[in-house]
Amino acid sequence: MSRSRYRYYDFILAAFVCVLLCSNFIGAAKQATLTLPLVGTVTFGAGVLFFPISYLFGDILTEVYGYGRDRRAVWAGFGALAFASVMAAVVVGLPPADTDFMHGYQGQLEGVFGNAWRIALASMLAFWCGSFANSYVLAKMKLWTHGRWLWMRTIGSTLVGELIDSGLFYFVAFYGVWTTADILAVTLAQYVLKTGWEVLATPLTYWIVNGLKRAEQEDWYDRGTDFNPFRIDDGPPPSR
């Protein structure tokens, strides 16, 4: 089946990019603290509440449409992050108008987006590496398990992808800004929360994946796929 004939691929791709941008630019820089029963005080980046949704979409794209189409989504997200970082730098760098409002608002903009280039660099590096690792592991596990045990594939691939993503992002984005202890604490909390989120979302993943497979009449197996992450084409004809 040609990609142009898929009914929902473009909607999932757009949602994937939207979640990626919002979680990285709105929630990434904020450290939040919650006190949990039996666990105690946990410090985490606020974006963790939403960023795992992008991994959910990545799992769905790979499982239903294949590694090649998820690769296109990853590159679309990479391009969106690059544009957002350039736009943020230009907006912050433009001389503000000489008004009382802008005297206060410029400082707020710089506080939120002044480090956007570094956050974007960290986001793009961590997202690119983590997402491709996630998709690769899931695609390979689908072949090894002959399409069985979806829960094992989604959780296993997330354990690998999120470890790479979390490990890279916080050190690149906030080393020298936060203390090393804070970086390590938030990174560990992020990893545990993200992977835990994936486990809890497993029933939802099953429901979406099964519904899409029926609607699209597609269940892609990546036999003979070129896993080169620098390609952006869809790959070979379907291999069920």
pLDDT score of 203 more than 70: yes
Residues 6+ apart with CB under 8 A from 153: 59, 63, 137, 138, 141, 142, 145
pLDDT for 148 equals 92
pLDDT score of 239 more than 50: no
Q: pLDDT (tens digit, 9 = 90+) per residue, 138-177? A: 999 999 999 999 999 999 999 999 899 888 988 888 888 8
Under 8 Å between Cβ of 83 and 51: no
pLDDT for 236 equals 54
pLDDT score of 1 more than 60: no
Under 8 Å between Cβ of 155 and 198: yes
Handedness of CA 149, 192, 11, 80 (dihedral sign): negative
Q: Considering the chain, what is the average pLDDT of its residues?
A: 84
pLDDT for 29 equals 62
Residues 6+ apart with CB under 8 A from 216: 1, 6, 7, 8, 9, 64, 65
53-60 mean pLDDT: 89
Residues of 85-121 as b/e, b for ≥16 C-beta within 10 angstroms?
A: beebeeebeeeeeeeeeeeeeeeebeeebbbbebbbb
DSSP collapsed to 3 states, 10-42 = HHHHHHHHHHHHHHHHCCCCCEEEEEECCCEEE
pLDDT score of 2 more than 60: no
pLDDT score of 75 more than 90: yes
pTM: 0.82
pLDDT score of 87 more than 60: yes
Handedness of CA 227, 8, 217, 208 (dihedral sign): positive
CA torsion, points 52, 49, 35, 157, in degrees to nearest 10? 0
Domain spans in the chain, listed from the N-terminal domain onward: 3-216
Say what percent of the chain tops pLDDT 70: 88
How buried is residue 188: exposed, middle or buried, by Cβ count under 10 Å (0-12/13-18/19+)? middle
Residue that wins the pLDDT comparison between 33 and 215: 215
- As a whole number of angstroms, the distance between CA 217 and CA 215 comes to 6
Confidence of residue 221 (pLDDT cuts 50, 70, 90): very high
Q: pLDDT (tens digit, 9 = 90+) per residue, 123-141? A: 789 889 999 999 999 999 9
pLDDT for 196 equals 87
Q: Cβ–Cβ contacts within 10 Å for residue 154, how many?
A: 27
pLDDT for 235 equals 57
Backbone angles phi, psi at 90, to 5 degrees: -65, -45
pLDDT score of 83 more than 50: yes
Question: What CATH number labels 3-216?
Answer: 1.10.1760
- Amino acid identity of residue 175, one-letter, is Y
Residue that wins the pLDDT comparison between 31 and 178: 178
Residues 6+ apart with CB under 8 A from 188: none
Under 8 Å between Cβ of 77 and 20: yes
